[in-house]
């Protein structure tokens, strides 16, 4: 022992006291002073949440028939954390593959590993390894849960269109949201995240915010391995609203079936038009209400089954369906809604606007007759074409406005066109266009569907502009007299969409009120059925038509479907046997020439002729004469409507076996 030992021992004691002081201070700082802030960190450290999509609202037709709803689908999932923690991971996967194979699911261990590896969705959502499997698996896999750790079976909702391709273009489809859509919806009230479904087309896209369910959220506590320990809170998702369309599913079915039937028939007959074979590969038909602007049927051909897109298609199949560069040449782009996207020259259906312009401008009174020898030569001819012909060069003799419409005399309207062009100091440089424009030609109908095309209403200014912008395609910028002459019969650079043409005819038919087209009727609450929003008629303008002239035109158009004898109406053969007395049809054939192809077959009509219920337009590419395909389709659509009006036969029970002789006229 040495003298300084007590001192030295107390040094140790002092060191100990100092160290303890340090520990106590730090403990006080962490647990008393910083506890709240660390506690918050601990919470966010340990809680995760997943968002659960709400069921999407249904889509119904105007009478409540279901057009789109959600189907229960059984999916097999794998929870990565649990699977990886299993001692016999590989055996678990092998057993799972056995179960799936027994249920006729085509899969393999490699395929499942691949799915797990490629998962880029929410890490807390189990990974889907088999989709839409036999519902039996729900029970068999649940029973074997103990030997299949991490494997889950869930029932999920999948969008389903029970009528397959019926009204496919109107409905559209849903698909996984992409980056661009996600960015666009960044501020959406019902927030989106990757993996969510969103409307991609048609009303599914247009009314997305009504249809989409309100997402719910589950917040849970996870352990350090990201495994779920307990559920903290749960906000249940809410279903989206039901959307009622103005579409009448029965009429839609009739429209689509009529189109397909007549197009197949025209194709099989092997006729030619302007030396090109009639193939009738594509077209559209639109039925609207002249009273409200509601669309009752809208069909586009070729069509598609939206269920196919919901389930997922290969990129090749997708490009054939709807990628412009690929589908345009051989597939006629099934995804394109030709009723609002197709640009077709209206042909002779345009003559009612030329005739109205001539009659109301004082150029040529409706009763004045001209001689129609079958051709018309411009005098003087200052450029462009000089001689124009009737279809098939047929001579109609002495014709006034109604008769010119009934027999579709080109010569009558060529004369109108030339006179308008030559006397532009009186009538201006776009006398016909001004009238057509008021009927909505050249502007969108305002139908609430994505990507509607406006059509082209050609006039001197537009022709010059197009040439200036793109001289290689539009070789000439100067407006010739021949351009007005061509426009007078709906040929040349003018083009309309089928919806636009139907709406213009509806406007003439209803006495002169142009309306935006509507596709949605109302939005209702899915549980209470209460109407949340309803969509009434949207008037654009009252044209204040000259009702005398309108009546003359109506008479001419009724003649188209009814007049027989020497001046037979161009649609009379097709409409032979139609109940004209009770349900007269005011219609017009059109045969629009297309360079290098068979003509487009066009028919537009309203019925009954007075105070019409419906206006229809049908436009079939490479279909030949209007009386050849488009008119028969129109009759097949209108006759069940007439029978319902006369006999009260519901559309669903309509006799569709109508004997029609197509053609019979050169227009």
Partner 1 sequence: MATTGPTLARPRLGDRSTGVAARVSATPWRHLDVSLVAVLGLLSVVSVVMVLAATHGPRTTTNDTFFMQRQAVFVVLGFVVMFVAAAIDYRHWREWWVAIYGLGMLSLVFVMLFGISAKGTQRGFALAGFQMQPSEFMKIAAIIGLAGFLVGRELDLVRTVAGIGVIGAPVVLILMQPDLGTALVFGAITLGMLLVAGVPARTMLGLLLAAGLAAGVVVTSDVLDEYQKARLTNFVNPDALDRDQRYNTEQSQIAIASGGITGQGLLKGGQTSNGYVPEQQTDFIFTAIGEELGFVGSAGVLLLYGVLLWRILRAAQLSRDAFGTLLCVGVFCLILFQLFENIGMSLGIMPVTGIPLPFMSYGGSSIIVVFVLAGLVLNVHMRRFS
Residues at the site binding partner 1, with contacts judged by CB under 8 A = 1-2, 4-6, 8-9, 11-13, 15-16, 19-20, 22-24, 26-28, 30-32, 34-35, 37-39, 41-43, 45-46, 85, 221-225, 227, 229-230
Minimum gap (Å) between residue 6 Cβ and partner 1? 7
Q: Pick the closer one to partner 1 by CB: 228 or 464.
A: 228
Q: Pick the closer one to partner 1 by CB: 30 or 164.
A: 30
HSE-CB of 63 using CA atoms within 13 angstroms: 10
Token pair for residue 605?
Answer: 């009509």
Minimum gap (Å) between residue 41 Cβ and partner 1? 6
- E strands, 56-135, are 59-60, 66-78, 127-133
Minimum gap (Å) between residue 122 Cβ and partner 1? 20
Q: Pick the closer one to partner 1 by CB: 230 or 527.
A: 230
- DSSP letters, 16-72, are HHHHHHHHHHHHHIIIIISHHHHHHHHHHHHEEEEEEPPPPPPEE-TTS-EEEEEEE
Minimum gap (Å) between residue 27 Cβ and partner 1? 6
Q: Pick the closer one to partner 1 by CB: 81 or 422.
A: 81
Minimum gap (Å) between residue 7 Cβ and partner 1? 10
Q: Pick the closer one to partner 1 by CB: 23 or 581.
A: 23
Q: Pick the closer one to partner 1 by CB: 223 or 653.
A: 223
Minimum gap (Å) between residue 144 Cβ and partner 1? 20
Minimum gap (Å) between residue 149 Cβ and partner 1? 11
Minimum gap (Å) between residue 38 Cβ and partner 1? 3
Q: Pick the closer one to partner 1 by CB: 1 or 183.
A: 1
Minimum gap (Å) between residue 91 Cβ and partner 1? 17
Q: Pick the closer one to partner 1 by CB: 9 or 164.
A: 9
Q: Pick the closer one to partner 1 by CB: 38 or 139.
A: 38
DSSP 201: S
Least Cα distance to 214 among 49, 51, 47 occurs for 51
Cβ contacts of 78 within 8 Å, gap of 6 or more: 96, 112, 115, 116, 126, 127, 129, 150, 151, 152
Kindly tell me the number of DSSP H helices and DSSP E strands found in the chain.
25, 25
Minimum gap (Å) between residue 187 Cβ and partner 1? 34
Q: Pick the closer one to partner 1 by CB: 9 or 102.
A: 9
Minimum gap (Å) between residue 152 Cβ and partner 1? 16
Cross-strand partners of 52: 216
CA distance 516 to 145: 57
Task: Note whether 334 and 298 are within 8 A (CB).
Answer: no
Q: Pick the closer one to partner 1 by CB: 7 or 183.
A: 7
Q: Determine how β-strand 283-288 pairs with β-strand 614-620.
A: antiparallel
Task: Note whether 57 and 526 are within 8 A (CB).
Answer: yes
- DSSP letters, 607-650, are ESSSS-SEEEEEEETT--STTTTHHHHHHHHHHHHHHHHHH---
Torsion of CA 180, 186, 191, 197, to 10 degrees: -10
The number of beta carbons lying within 10 Å of the beta carbon of residue 568 is 17
Q: What angle do CA 466, 468, 474 make, to 5 degrees?
A: 50
Sign of CA dihedral 651, 654, 660, 662: positive
Least Cα distance to 552 among 428, 391, 414, 399 occurs for 399
Q: Pick the closer one to partner 1 by CB: 3 or 655.
A: 3
Minimum gap (Å) between residue 182 Cβ and partner 1? 30
CA distance 293 to 296: 9
Q: Determine how β-strand 66-78 pairs with β-strand 295-301.
A: unpaired
């Amino acid at each position: 022992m040495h003298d300084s030992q007590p001192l030295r021992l107390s040094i140790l004691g002092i060191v100990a006291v100092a160290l303890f002081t340090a520990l106590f201070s730090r403990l006080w700082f962490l647990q008393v002073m910083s506890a709240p802030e660390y506690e918050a960190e601990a919470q966010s450290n340990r809680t995760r949440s997943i968002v659960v999509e709400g069921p999407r609202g249904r889509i119904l037709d105007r009478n409540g028939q279901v057009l789109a709803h959600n189907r229960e689908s059984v999916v097999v999932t794998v929870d990565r954390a649990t699977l990886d923690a299993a001692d016999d991971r590989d055996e678990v996967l092998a057993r799972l593959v056995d179960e799936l194979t027994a249920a006729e699911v085509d899969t393999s261990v490699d395929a499942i590993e691949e799915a797990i590896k490629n998962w880029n969705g929410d890490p807390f959502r189990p990974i889907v390894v088999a989709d839409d499997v036999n519902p039996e698996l729900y029970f068999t896999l649940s029973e074997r849960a103990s030997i299949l750790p991490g494997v889950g079976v869930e029932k999920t909702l999948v969008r389903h269109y029970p009528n397959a391709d019926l009204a496919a273009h109107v409905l559209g489809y849903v698909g996984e949201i992409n980056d661009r859509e996600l960015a666009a919806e960044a501020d959406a009230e019902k927030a989106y995240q990757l993996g969510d479904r969103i409307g991609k087309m048609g009303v599914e896209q247009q009314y997305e915010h009504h249809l989409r369910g309100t997402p719910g959220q589950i917040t849970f506590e996870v352990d350090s391995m990201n495994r779920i320990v307990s559920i903290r809170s749960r906000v249940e998702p809410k279903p989206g609203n039901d959307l009622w369309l103005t579409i009448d599913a029965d009429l839609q079915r009739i429209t689509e079936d009529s189109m397909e039937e007549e197009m197949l028939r025209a194709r099989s007959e092997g006729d030619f038009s302007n030396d090109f074979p009639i193939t009738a590969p594509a077209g559209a038909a639109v039925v609207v209400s002249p009273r409200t602007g509601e669309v009752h049927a809208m069909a586009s051909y070729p069509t598609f089954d939206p269920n196919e897109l919901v389930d997922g298609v290969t990129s090749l199949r997708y490009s054939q369906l709807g990628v412009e560069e690929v589908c345009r040449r051989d597939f006629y782009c099934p995804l394109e809604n030709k009723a609002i996207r197709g640009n077709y020259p209206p042909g002779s259906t345009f003559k009612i606007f030329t005739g109205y312009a001539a009659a109301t401008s004082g150029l040529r009174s409706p009763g004045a007759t001209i001689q129609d020898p079958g051709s018309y030569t411009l005098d003087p001819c200052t450029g462009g074409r000089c001689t124009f012909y009737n279809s098939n060069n047929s001579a109609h003799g002495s014709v006034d406005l109604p008769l010119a419409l009934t027999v579709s005399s080109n010569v009558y309207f060529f004369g109108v066109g030339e006179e308008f062009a030559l006397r532009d100091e009186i009538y201006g440089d776009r006398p016909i266009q001004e009238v057509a424009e008021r009927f909505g030609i050249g502007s969108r109908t305002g139908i609430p569907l994505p990507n509607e095309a406006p059509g082209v209403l050609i006039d001197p200014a537009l022709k010059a502009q197009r040439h200036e912008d793109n001289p290689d395609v539009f070789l000439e910028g100067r407006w010739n007299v021949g351009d007005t002459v061509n426009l007078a019969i709906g040929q040349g650079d003018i083009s309309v969409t089928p919806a636009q043409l139907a709406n213009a005819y509806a406007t003439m038919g209803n006495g002169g009120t142009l309306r935006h087209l509507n596709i949605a009727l109302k939005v209702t609450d899915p549980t209470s059925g209460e109407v949340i929003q309803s969509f009434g008629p949207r008037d654009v303008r009252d044209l204040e038509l000259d009702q005398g002239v309108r009546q003359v035109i109506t008479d001419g158009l009724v003649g188209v479907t009814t007049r027989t004898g020497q001046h037979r109406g161009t649609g009379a053969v097709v409409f032979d046997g139609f109940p004209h007395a009770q349900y007269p049809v005011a219609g017009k054939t059109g045969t629009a020439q297309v360079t290098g192809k068979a003509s487009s077959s066009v028919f537009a009509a309203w019925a009954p002729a007075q105070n019409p219920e419906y206006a229809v337009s049908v436009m079939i590419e490479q279909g030949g004469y209007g009386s050849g395909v488009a008119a028969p389709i129109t009759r097949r659509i209108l006759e069940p409507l007439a029978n319902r009006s006369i006999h009260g036969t519901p559309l669903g029970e309509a006799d569709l076996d109508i004997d029609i002789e197509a053609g019979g006229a050169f227009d």
